[in-house]
Amino acid sequence: MLISNIFTTVLTACAVLGSTAAAADFKVKKSGKTNCSDGGGPTREYSRGNCNPLYSTDHGMRVLEHNTACKIRCYPGGNCDGGVKRAFSSHQCHSLEGCWSFRVEC
């Protein structure tokens, strides 16, 4: 029983530390304006491989920091489906027009 508890604790600690230790590939601010003139919301961090939904209030995205080997790719479908609508990585505001989801790809 003790070994089982120790094993479970070690696995849980590895999962928690592993998920927080991974650095984000992108730091961005989503905006309600396509030109990001409203200053945007809070800084958000995204890592490669996950499909992220966009909302009806997301019209622009300003890239603050990024892994230079990666790009954000926007899709017309809500599950990163359909052809890539836009791809970007430069430190500026990017319009999200026609995009309903995005993924960081490296």
* Model confidence pLDDT, tens digit, residues 25-80: 999 999 999 999 999 999 999 999 999 999 999 999 999 999 999 999 999 999 99
- Pairwise CA distance, residues 37 & 40, whole Å: 8
pTM of the model: 0.77
Return the CATH architecture of domain 24-105.
Answer: Sandwich (2.60)
What b-and-e string marks burial along 3-22, b requiring 16 or more CB atoms within 10 Å of the CB? eeeeeeeeeeeeeeeeeeee
Domain ranges of the chain: 24-105
